[in-house]
Amino acid sequence: MPLPTILSAGLIGRARRIWLLAVAAMATVLLGIVACAPPEPVRIGFLGGLSGRVADLGIGGRNGAILAVEMRNQQGGIHGRPIELIAEDDQQDAEVARQAVTRLLARKVELIVGPMTSAMAVAVLPQLNAAGIVLISPTATTNALTGLDDQFFRVVAPTATHVFRSAEYHFRRQGLRRVVLVYDLRNKAYSESWAGDFRKAFEALGGRIVGEVGFDASNALADLALAVLASEPDGVLIIANSVDTALLLQQIRRRDAGVRLATAEWAATEQLIELGGRAAEGVIVAQYVDRESRAPAYLAFSRAYRERFAHDPGFPGLTAFDATNVALDALTSRSAGQSVKQAILAHGDFAGAQLPIRFDAHGDTQRDTFLLVISDGQFKSLP
């Protein structure tokens, strides 16, 4: 072989060896980078009304979810993977809520905690059923979602299982016989469900529902108060958010200082007292949290929530904290090939902040409801 050819082949061989060594070195570096990179986070969504008249409910729920995620990340996340919470505002609008769910699904969330109202749960559940993604609501109680084989779970009981307590208290303890129900049509899935169950229970006891008044954003509250009092009831029960309830209390009190007033669970946030002022005094309030609980887990949760957010959690923070921990426990215990729904149903009891949570085959559970009275600007338990 001629000398130039031999030299050329040698140079080519040497270049090839150098190139192979460079590729190997680069691969080693890349493997090191991959090995040092943080693991992919476990993403879960939160959906709730973070603006407008239901913002106290949504923000309280979001904060409860944030606290649960932060506490779990401090413990190492899920099998060493950090948890990322992605929050969306449904604005208490069905179309906005569906768009928010679309964005969450595009982010590949494992499940969604929320929404905080029944109307939004009914609006978005078809999307989640189609996608096979679990929806765990902290506060949606409509009977319309009871007993279905779907992707819906909730950590509170359907209205049919707890409204009787309110009806019995108002009939037997307060002596009410003629009651008007006034309810928000913007959350009909909840308000009409609650009103229907109360009507059945109250009339079964011997009372009468002498009026039912629905309202939406087009109604002036002053006119609404006149309509509510037109049938001269001895009691008025308001099924609405805290803002509208507080303002309606004021309008009713101006016209009738003696009529007994009460609310459903939806209104039972601290904002009801702040906005209602003196008009809220003496109002009987149903809610999902035992504010006098001495359970160690609840006291620890309340302390951590106040330290993190500088206000009391109320029922939205508590139920969202519980719902998020259900989600995280299920994701932690899920076995290979098991869906999130299957993992939840197979788990058994979940540890809630106040009581254990167990779901039936349809994702429903039981939870006590508590009756309180607003006295001296505070929620106080009734015997």
- pLDDT (tens digit per residue) in 297-314: 999 999 999 999 999 999
Contact 330, 344 (CB under 8 A): yes
Res. 4 pLDDT band, cuts 50 70 90: very low
Does the pTM exceed 0.75?
yes
Model confidence at 3: pLDDT above 90: no
Buried b (16+ CB within 10 A) or exposed e, 277-286: eebbbebbbb
Neighbouring-strand partners of residue 153: 136
- pLDDT (tens digit per residue) in 333-346: 999 999 999 999 99
Q: What pLDDT shows up at residue 16? A: 60
Q: What pLDDT shows up at residue 217? A: 87
Question: How big is the chain by its Cα radius of gyration, in Å?
Answer: 27
For the record, the structure tokens of 52 come out as 């407008």
How many Å apart are CA 367 and CA 286, to the nearest integer?
Answer: 13
- pLDDT (tens digit per residue) in 35-57: 556 789 999 999 999 999 899 99
Neighbouring-strand partners of residue 137: 154
Q: Which residue has the tokens 């190139």?
A: 19
How many Å apart are CA 336 and CA 86, to the nearest integer?
Answer: 25
Contact 331, 110 (CB under 8 A): yes
Q: What pLDDT shows up at residue 7? A: 42
Average confidence score pLDDT of the chain: 92
How many Å apart are CA 155 and CA 165, to the nearest integer?
Answer: 19
Q: What pLDDT shows up at residue 38? A: 76
Helix (H) or strand (E) holding 243: helix 242-255
How many Å apart are CA 305 and CA 244, to the nearest integer?
Answer: 26
- Residue 325's alpha-carbon distances to 65, 205, 244, 349, 353, in angstroms, are 8, 39, 31, 12, 10
- pLDDT (tens digit per residue) in 204-260: 999 999 999 999 989 999 999 999 999 999 999 999 999 999 999 999 999 999 999
Judge residue 114's burial from the number of C-beta atoms within 10 Å of its C-beta, 0-12 exposed, 13-18 middle, 19 or more buried: buried
Neighbouring-strand partners of residue 83: 42
